[in-house]
Structure 1
Amino acid sequence: MDKYSAETFNTSALRRTEESNSSTTLQGPESVKDSRSKKSRRNNNSADEAPRKRSRVSEVAEPSTSCQDQIRTVRRAKRKMTEEGEGPLPPVKKRKKGLLELVLTKESPSSLVDNSRAKFEEKYTELHQFGEGGFGYVFAGYRKEDKLPVAIKHIPNQKVVLTHKDENGRQLALEVAVMLKLRAVTTSSVGQSSMVVLLDWYDLDQELILVMERPMSAESLFDHLKDHKGPLKQKEAKIIMKQLVEAGIHLQHANIFHRDIKAENILIETNSGVPRVYLIDFGLSCYDNRRKFELFYGTIDHIPPEFDRHGTYSAGPTTVWQLGVLLFEVLHNKMFKTSSFLQNELKIGKRLSKKCKDILTKCLTINQEERPTLEELLCHPWFS
């Protein structure tokens, strides 16, 4: 069954929860809650399997003095985040709105909202729910015209925190803006086809609906690892990793920073014999991947060392770090935690090939300046 993960975006005290059925995600540091859908949790019966905890921060967190310390200092974010990840939204001037703007804002008349909902229901059929989280719910469905399988994501408007002002001055959910840009610049070439495409979106006053393509016979990489009941072979890991590096390069060229690449946010399709991956969930993504960010958005266990040490992080080195974290998890079947890795509690397995250990070591280099770029990573001998 296809599996999408509806991520949690909630504000509460930042902490590492130890409850067996909750995992926390980091979307900006002040809030932490379960990052996984109820149907995307790994069995934790074996010490060799990865634990079930992820932390994703949604507000503003200050770095600790060392990565061995847990992030203790938390301050309340007093501003909504723009597409750059920080800064207050400009004041909204009251003026007469055009018809299109009325459809796109919370001030839409009920008749226009009803009209948008009617268009959605006329075009798509919604089936069973297969994902749930703090962001909302994800349903399977299909497009009536041609029976194309789709995933339908419902997001309550109060959960839409990251926004973007388009060229016409309209405020859009940043996830929508990013996926619209990806749709415009994506082709069927290698690397670019590794993105789930946004087909339609509807702002219905109380909720935002995203309609995306739904690859058949696909499951999350997280569930794939759980079903596999052990680490992946290097041959399969290499195929998955190469596609993700190519996808990262495509995002970089499009000036988009995903910020939360992990097993839960990757779909894997295996019915063709050769694994094909799709990167999903752009809810924490942003533009301007050449700047340094001071507000952390992503999974707290995967926090790059430079943020904890210097209070900033940037797109390229962080993406390479996240890919290294992912490669570590699929080859060791263990949950990665930056603080544990820095304390040598997690070590790269000796059974791996020399080339594999080398690329993994390079991705997880502590000094971000010494990590390879995505382009350099793609040229690594392990992929040849």
Structure 2
Amino acid sequence: MKNFEHITLGQRVLFGSGKSAEHLSAEVSRVGASRTMVIASEFERSMAETATAGISPALWWDEVVMHVPVEVAERARAAAVEHDIDLLVCVGGGSTTGLAKAVALATGIPIVAVPTTYAGSEATNVWGMTEERTKTTGVDDKVLPVTVIYDAEFTRSLPVELSVSSGLNALAHCIDSLWAPKADPINQALALEGSRALAAGLAGVAADPNDIDAREETLHGAYLAAVAFASAGSGLHHKICHVLGGTFNLPHAQTHATVLPYVLAFNAPAVPDLAHRLAAALGRPAAGNQDAAQAAVEALNTLRRTLGAPSALIDYGFTADGIPEAVERVLRAVPASNPVTPTEENITGLLTAALHGVTPTAALAAPVEAR
């Protein structure tokens, strides 16, 4: 029997390749904004200029830093107040959207988000900031962008390597949503369809980086992933990556892309039905009497090999010396809903495997200690 409460966040979504300037101009008029602050890093500036061609921003802000350090957020907030800003327009990836959210959290100024990656932050009411090597996250409807403008043309700026990392970050939203604290049949359905779209789209992008149809399919999947994640909440995967990013300053997308298969291998044996459905969504359903968990892990491993995905945390500066502190922090944050009981031993094993890029198998957490 089904028994759950599901919340769908209210948000306007405009999707159309090459239509960002048209859509943004219409949204600025619709919300009645007169003093717009555009948040975009130096790298994102040309895309932001394209998107804002039909409006006259009152302020440009380009100090964007990964993991949103509190001091950076405070400077951006002060500038928004000083210039009497009434609308935030963020054009960029997750760090750019995250900074806009930090400003909105303190000021209540609405956001229109124009994503240029597959990060998905634009579709959630989750914020995150880092202070003293600790990343803190929270949920507040003030940070949910009122409108998201998707223009797949902007994702062409992502090289294949970054497209893969960003897309697998989105896939992590899907997979974590299968067993996160507020997982339910609705967000699981969104997550599985998001997984299908991301797997198909990313394979197309890897084969031809200029394939706009593949870019659109990937962006569509990233949105579904974010909607599922916004409803289901943060699971074990995100708790691990927040520790690795906030405490050890590892790069966001690459860290998510690297850790994802190890968390799937850790949890999948305890949720065979979900594992079976995920394997099918990823395009490699369990064959015959194949174990469902192993099928899901192999499906993800195959996709990652096709994409040339990141495979080892050691490549991004993490070392074995950091594992004890990371394990301690993860165990304090892991949600009670996780399908497998986390322990010092098995989380150490997970991080050690991810550190060295050991090929994940569904026996990673064996013996399974299901809740």
Mark yes or no: TM-score above 0.5.
no
TM-score, length-scaled by structure 1: 0.26
TM-score, length-scaled by structure 2: 0.27
Kindly indicate which of the two structures has a greater share of residues assigned to strand: 1
Kindly indicate which of the two structures has a greater share of residues assigned to helix: 2
Higher RCO structure, 1 or 2 (CA under 8 Å, sep 6+): 1
